Amino acid sequence: MPVEPVILSRDNHCISRSMMDENSLKVLYRLRQHGHTAYLVGGGVRDLLLGRQPKDFDVGTDATPEQVRKLFRNCRLIGRRFRLAHIMFGRQSLIEVATFRRKPQPDEFPEAEEDGQPVNFAENVFGTPEEDAFRRDFTINALFYDIEDFSIVDYVGGLADLRDGIIRVIGDPDERFAEDPVRMLRALEFSARLGFEL
């Protein structure tokens, strides 16, 4: 059943386009101009809401990696398990673009295996923004900035956790930490860096 997101309109949050990297705006606008959904995603949105300068700006979109590559001459696709588009602006600026993903159904896992793991381990099953939000690690990293109407979109309670200073795993913590044990270290890092409770 779809989740109704919390949406903060432009006059109810502090983020403006002047706070963003101009190259990330170029990417967002070009994707939109070609009919794709395009959001600023993850830690960049979190940091802007906290009044911090993000170290990078990432984009989420419904465009596939191949569609992104066709729109940007300065794009290269990386990753085998998790295909990403890297759009280079000069030597110093890189905008990472990821296609929205979802948790795969059991029948979508490939049969071929390498080292006991299914090939491509279902990392490239594309989905909706909502499904993508639920695949992310922590609620405060699953916030989206919509370039179309300048709103903040929250499917997972990240705005409330950001306000209350809480680092919360999305979904079952045992399952999510088993998927990627590095998440435990990231939780501690965010807690120390932001002064938030686990």
Residues annotated catalytic, as ranges: 56, 58, 137
Question: Which residues are 145's β-sheet partners?
Answer: 40, 152
- Mapping DSSP onto H, E and C, the string for 121-162 reads HHCCCECCHHHHHHHCCEHHHCEEEECCCCEEEECCCHHHHH
CB proximity list for 71: less than 8 A, separation 6 or greater: 30, 31, 34, 63
Joined together, the tokens standing for residue 18 give: 């002047």
**Residues 87, 94 contacting (CB under 8 angstroms):** yes
Q: Strands of 11-150 (E only): list them.
A: 38-41, 58-61, 75-78, 84-89, 93-99, 113-114, 117-118, 143-146
How far from chain centre, in Å, is Cα 27? Answer: 15
How far from chain centre, in Å, is Cα 107? Answer: 25
